[in-house]
């Protein structure tokens, strides 16, 4: 009788909660996105903390977490990419900057030594304290102590926050700084192998100091380590999740590629390849050919060009929403393919152009083009919470986040205060401002074309500052692991195999969120 009962209950579940193929087929021609569906729970002996979130974007590029920061100019530059890699993910550095600048951003990530700030903010001895105060205000720095360097980059002193005050605004930095002769420093060669261990010993030896200034043999400033960073990183070393590193122990990083064209519209093959070679010289781990419409001759042309010249670099291409698009880019040589057209919070492609597919259906259809192939699928756009990531990972190998990271302190852009709250600029790469800065080719336009109006496919907005990447990712990954625990999935492969879907009504969507209560805010006061 027990066997019969168990069989009946299993049959009831199987009839109600459907695997991906059956579920999405049953709901055609309606297209569904994250809030339209929910996942059914299964028997589990997996504790959320034990769930393995590691993934891969190619045979060569392994990640500890399935999260990539978007190649948007208000999301990912070197600081974001470093934070992503330290948390086990990947940052894609945008291309809305000069080619040389992008190479420098990649170099900053690859040369990052954990705990050593290699490009600390400095001031010059001939500046006035008033200039320093203005810089702090403009850039919203939370610190006021700065190394002082001359034009050659040599350390000449330290400007203490104790003298960076309004009453001293007319004084020069040289007059109030602690001179080089009075500073205790450390040589770069002594810290290069293990800066945290060296800094820990330094602060133990020198009671009362909270900054270790690092110089080379010529006296040039090579970086600094703060005591607070030593404490934080020492704690991080005990964590289960490890940074994403290459074979030489460098942090991993990706870079988006701009398809540079000649005046006649043809691909400037030489400039593209030269730029890729410069990126590879700095050991970039992934190249992303990112456009709004990836199922095109031009994108395929760039992917084939790069793949033909460099067989082993990880190539990401997109964006598509069809099985044919995935198959096309895979045949061109892509290792991973971005899926998503118009789901982003600041994207207006579906409104302006009338195209695009709700994201979960798009992921399922696109994944169908991957059967029998080794390419990876990346869900790009539409994710607003950790539950969305869980649902996306039932159909994809990784997700790309833009809006959820744009408010982090590591994102590019200045912090501004409005009504007592702090915000950062966030704009779609299809916004007019972004296209003028360099992303027009992403949408099939020429930024230099002044003869006609370009149709924007994105908006400019503000995101409330949400803290640091470490904290945001910790919350998101906690939710992902919780979802894996509910499905009894020890890893992402099992998550995809075990996922069973049910469609949710508008009433069910309301039921899923807090309701019929007055929510008590737990946000700390900023007063």
- The residues annotated with a catalytic role in the active site are 347, 442
Tokens of 446: 């020429």
Which residues have a Cβ under 8 Å from the Cβ of 108 and sit 6 or more positions away? Answer: 78, 82, 118, 119
Residue with tokens 């087929």: 25
Per-residue burial over 174-210, b if 16 or more Cβ lie within 10 Å, else e, is: bebbeebeebebbebeebeeebbebbbebbeeeeeee
Tokens of 86: 């330290």
Smallest Cα–Cα separation from 391: which of 114, 21, 40, 1?
40
Residue with tokens 């074309």: 449
Cα–Cα separations (whole angstroms), residue 298 to 3, 315, 318, 452: 59, 15, 12, 22
The three-state (H, E, C) secondary structure of 213-264, written as one string: EEECCCCEEEEEEEHHHHHHHHHHCCCCCCCCECCCCCECCEEECCCCECCC
Smallest Cα–Cα separation from 458: which of 76, 98, 74?
74
Spatial distance between the Cα atoms of 482 and 121, rounded to a whole number of angstroms: 40
**CA contacts within 13 A on the Cβ side of 516:** 3
Smallest Cα–Cα separation from 118: which of 216, 239, 214, 236?
214
Cis-peptide, bond into residue 260, ω within 30° of zero: no
Residue with tokens 């401002």: 433
Which residues have a Cβ under 8 Å from the Cβ of 122 and sit 6 or more positions away? Answer: 146, 147, 148, 149, 221
Collapse the DSSP code of 422 into the 3-class scheme (helix H, G, I; strand E, B; otherwise coil) and give the result: strand
Spatial distance between the Cα atoms of 358 and 34, rounded to a whole number of angstroms: 8
Spatial distance between the Cα atoms of 285 and 315, rounded to a whole number of angstroms: 9
**CA contacts within 13 A on the Cβ side of 250:** 16
Tokens of 168: 């001293």
């Amino acid at each position: 009788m027990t066997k019969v009962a168990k069989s009946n209950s299993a049959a009831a579940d199987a009839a109600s909660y459907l695997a991906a193929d059956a579920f999405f087929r049953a709901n055609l021609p309606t297209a569904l996105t994250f809030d339209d569906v929910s996942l059914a729970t299964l028997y589990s002996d997996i504790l959320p903390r034990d769930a393995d979130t590691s993934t891969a974007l190619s045979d060569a590029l392994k990640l500890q977490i399935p999260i990539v920061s978007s190649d948007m100019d208000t999301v990912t530059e070197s600081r974001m990419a470093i934070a992503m890699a330290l948390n086990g993910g990947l940052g894609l550095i945008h291309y809305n900057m000069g080619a040389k600048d992008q190479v420098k951003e990649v170099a900053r990530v690859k040369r990052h030594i954990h705990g050593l700030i290699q490009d600390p903010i400095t001031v010059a001895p001939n500046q006035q304290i008033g200039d320093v105060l203005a810089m702090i205000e403009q850039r919203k720095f939370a610190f006021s102590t700065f190394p002082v360097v001359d034009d050659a980059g040599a350390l000449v002193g330290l400007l203490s926050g104790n003298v960076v005050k309004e009453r001293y605004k007319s004084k020069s930095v040289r007059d109030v700084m602690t001179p080089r002769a009075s500073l205790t420093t450390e040589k770069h060669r002594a810290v290069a192998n293990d800066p945290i261990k060296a800094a820990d010993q330094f602060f133990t030896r020198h009671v009362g100091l909270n900054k270790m200034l690092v110089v080379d043999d010529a006296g040039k400033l090579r970086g600094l380590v703060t005591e607070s960073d030593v404490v934080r990183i020492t704690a991080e070393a005990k964590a289960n999740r490890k940074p994403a590193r290459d074979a030489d122990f460098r942090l991993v990083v990706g870079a988006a590629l701009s398809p540079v064209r000649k005046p006649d519209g043809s691909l400037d093959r030489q400039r593209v390849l030269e730029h890729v070679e410069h990126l590879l010289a700095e050991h970039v781990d992934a190249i992303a050919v990112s456009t709004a419409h990836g199922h095109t001759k031009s994108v395929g042309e760039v992917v084939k060009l790069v793949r033909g010249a460099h067989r082993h670099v990880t190539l990401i291409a997109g964006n598509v929403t069809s099985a044919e698009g995935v198959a096309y880019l895979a045949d061109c040589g892509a290792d991973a393919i971005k899926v998503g057209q118009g789901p982003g919070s600041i994207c207006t492609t579906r409104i302006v152009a009338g195209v695009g597919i709700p994201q979960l259906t798009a992921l399922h259809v696109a994944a169908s083009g991957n059967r029998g192939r080794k390419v990876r699928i990346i869900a790009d756009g539409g994710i607003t919470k950790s539950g969305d990531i869980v649902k996306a990972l039932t159909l994809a190998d990784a997700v790309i986040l833009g809006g959820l990271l744009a408010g982090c302190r590591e994102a590019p852009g200045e912090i501004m205060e409005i009504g007592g709250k702090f915000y950062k600029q966030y704009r779609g790469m299809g916004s007019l401002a972004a296209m003028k800065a360099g992303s027009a080719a992403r949408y099939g336009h020429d930024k230099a074309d002044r003869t006609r109006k370009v149709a924007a496919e994105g908006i400019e907005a503000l995101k409330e500052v949400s803290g640091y990447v470490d904290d945001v990712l910790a919350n998101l990954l906690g939710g992902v692991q919780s979802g894996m625990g509910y499905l009894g999935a020890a890893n992402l492969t099992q998550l995809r195999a075990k996922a069973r879907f049910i469609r949710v009504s508008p009433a069910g969507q309301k039921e899923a969120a807090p309701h019929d209560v007055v929510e008590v805010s737990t946000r700390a006061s900023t007063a």
